[in-house]
Amino acid sequence: MALLQLINGRMTRALWLLLIVGVFYAVSAQKEQLMTAPGELSLQEIDDRLQTCEVVQELNRRKVEETSTTPSWTQQLFAILFPGSPAVNAILATAYISGPPNFILALVPANIDPSSLTVMVAFAVGGLLGDVFFHLMPQTFMGEAHDGRVRFVMVEEKRNTLLGLAIMIGFVAFVILDKGMRIAAGGESGHSHSHSHNQAHSEGSSTALAEKSGELRQRKGKDEKGDIITAKSDEKAPGMSIKVSSYLNMAADFSHNITDGLAIAASFYAGPTIGATTTVAVFFHEIPHEVGDFALLIQGGFTKGQAIAAQFVAAIGAFLGTFIGIFIQQYSAQSSSEEGGAAGLFGTSATLGDLVLPFTAGGFLYIATVGVIPELLETGPSRGLELKKSLVQALAMAAGAGIMLVISWAEA
């Protein structure tokens, strides 16, 4: 028995030794396959080689067997709307989000109250947040599998940190933009999505000034010309203030549209599905945004035709942003190709083009949360009415996010 136990012990140790040696040689062979010489392969080249390993190929084979060959309704629709290259599709998407919302303005009455758009605004918030959390964020860190193929993802902690930094920079950039426009407007809300607040502020200032002017007229005598001049000067102030705010709002709207164009370009280069869903989210946001800005321009003294023309001028910013985004993506791809797939920014595989998508995700987060949600938080004195409005707004927000979720789920 003792001899048998000794033999079994030695055999067990021998098997463990053979297993260790086998693993060692397997790892060595894998390294030789991935590296022609130590330190010569970039992260991108290693990633490309790993996509061809046996495990990934087997997963691809199984996915092809389990996936239906019939395209989904979203794939068929997106194929019709976006039939070209990423650059062509980005330009088409910009035309879709810039044209129809501005043509809709022709049907909008000139005396529309921006505060009546809260349900539409809530729907847009849901769409933006849905696009950020269901599409932009996952795409930023994990990428998108193209052509229905399984894709190996190599985790880079420094790359993820860099992408997270880009999200934060996008958010802070919009804080600076918004704050700058408020300072330029002299303390008034510059480019704020809370249009009802701006309108109430302007109307309140006008009413208070009118009462003050009335008191001056009652107190002035026949020879009190100074009071007359003061009253007339004060009566002109509200109109001038609103006019300046309207022009500042146009400038900020132009800047905001540039960011929309950047987001669309970056999303189409990231993947066709990401591009299409981002276009849908921006389109949902643009309708109430354009109508609200249209109402502000009317209040600022613009005619209906002038307000519509001003919105078309602001829409040029979206095309400018799209062309800038296309240039960044093309330049990033060309630089990577010329350098033979060399390491990207700060020794990671991230390129300049990879940072555009998280930057715009941070901008969308600011627009949806700080820029728009405060408008939905405004309440009136009637509790029953406000509860009903809040319920409708919550349902509208859920509907906007639900559409993004359905599209993402159908494409997964």
What is the average per-residue pLDDT within 306-330?
Answer: 90
Q: Which pLDDT score, from 0 to 100, does residue 236 have?
A: 43
The DSSP secondary-structure symbol of 133 reads I
Tell me what pLDDT residue 82 has. 92
pLDDT > 90? residue 165: yes
CA distances 111 to 108, 191, 291, 292, 301, Å, are: 9, 20, 11, 11, 12
Cα distance between residue 264 and residue 90, in whole Å = 6
- Whether 169 shows a pLDDT value over 90: the answer reads yes
Q: Which tokens sit at 393?
A: 């707004």
Dihedral of CA 310/311/316/317: which sign? positive
The whole-number pLDDT of residue 9 equals: 61
CA–CA separation, 373 vs 394, rounded Å? 11
| Number of domains making up the chain | 1
Tell me which residue range forms the domain holding 288: 46-193+247-411
Give residue 245's pLDDT. 63
Q: Six-digit token pair at 35?
A: 């590296």
pLDDT of 198 reads 45
Tell me the average pLDDT across 244-272: 81
pLDDT tens digits along 173-195? 888 888 887 787 666 554 444 44
Asked whether residue 205 is assigned to any structural domain, the reply reads no
Whether 152 is in a domain gets the answer yes
Rounded to whole angstroms, how far apart are CA atoms 366 and 33?
46
**What local confidence, expressed as pLDDT, does residue 323 receive?**
95
91 in a structural domain = yes
Is the pLDDT confidence value at 112 over 60? yes
Residue 208, pLDDT above cutoff 90: no
- Does residue 305 have a pLDDT over 90? no
Answer positive or negative: Cα dihedral of 119, 366, 77, 100: positive
Q: Closest Cα to residue 228, out of 236, 218, 220?
A: 220
What is the structure's pLDDT at 8? Answer: 55
**Per-residue confidence at 234, pLDDT binned at 50, 70, 90?**
very low
Asked whether residue 75 is assigned to any structural domain, the reply reads: yes
The tokens of 1 are what?
A: 């028995």
Question: How is residue 190 written in tokens?
Answer: 């510059």
What percentage of the chain exceeds 70 in pLDDT? 66
Per the domain annotation, does 252 fall within a domain? yes
The better pLDDT of the pair 332, 228 is held by 332
In this prediction, residues 215-243 reach a mean pLDDT of: 45
> Shortest CA distance to 253 belongs to which of 102, 58, 53?
102
| pLDDT at 320 exceeding the cut of 90 | yes
Highest mean pLDDT among 156-160, 270-274, 321-325: 321-325
Whether residue 71 lies inside any domain: the answer is yes
Cα–Cα distance, 305 to 117 (Å, whole number)? 21
Token pair in block for residue 183: 């300072």
For 252-298, give the DSSP string: HHHHHHHHHHHHHHHHHHH-HHHHHHHHHHHHHHHHHHHHHHHHHHH
pLDDT score recorded for residue 145:
61
209 three-class SS: helix
Q: pLDDT tens for residues 18-49?
A: 656 554 454 455 544 544 444 566 666 776 77
Min mean pLDDT across 2-16, 311-325, 369-383, 395-409 is at 2-16
Other beta carbons within 10 angstroms of residue 162's beta carbon come to 19
Q: 334-367, pLDDT tens digit by residue?
A: 776 665 554 578 878 788 888 888 988 898 898 8
Question: Taking residues 285-312, what's their average pLDDT?
Answer: 82
Residues 51, 151 contacting (CB under 8 angstroms): yes
- Whether residue 348 lies inside any domain: the answer is yes
- ∠107-110-111 over CA atoms, to 5°? 125
Residue positions counted in the chain: 412
> For residue range 376-390, what is the model confidence (pLDDT) as tens digits?
888 888 888 899 999
Tens-digit pLDDT profile for residues 52-79:
777 777 777 777 676 666 777 777 888 8
pLDDT, position 322: 94
**Residue 372 falls within a domain, yes or no?**
yes
What's the mean pLDDT when you consider all of the chain?
74
pLDDT of 105 reads: 83
Asked if residue 102 has pLDDT above 70, the reply is yes
Q: Please report the pLDDT score of residue 13 as a whole number.
A: 65
Average pLDDT of the segment spanning 74-92: 89
Residue 146 is predicted with a pLDDT of 56
* Banded model confidence at residue 332, pLDDT cuts 50, 70, 90: confident
Q: Which amino acid is at 97?
A: I
Q: What is the pLDDT of residue 33?
A: 52
Please give the Cα distance from 404 to 401 (Å, whole number): 5
Q: Cβ(91)–Cβ(83) under 8 Å? A: no
Q: How many H helices and E strands in the chain? A: 15, 0
Q: Is the pLDDT of residue 149 over 70?
A: no
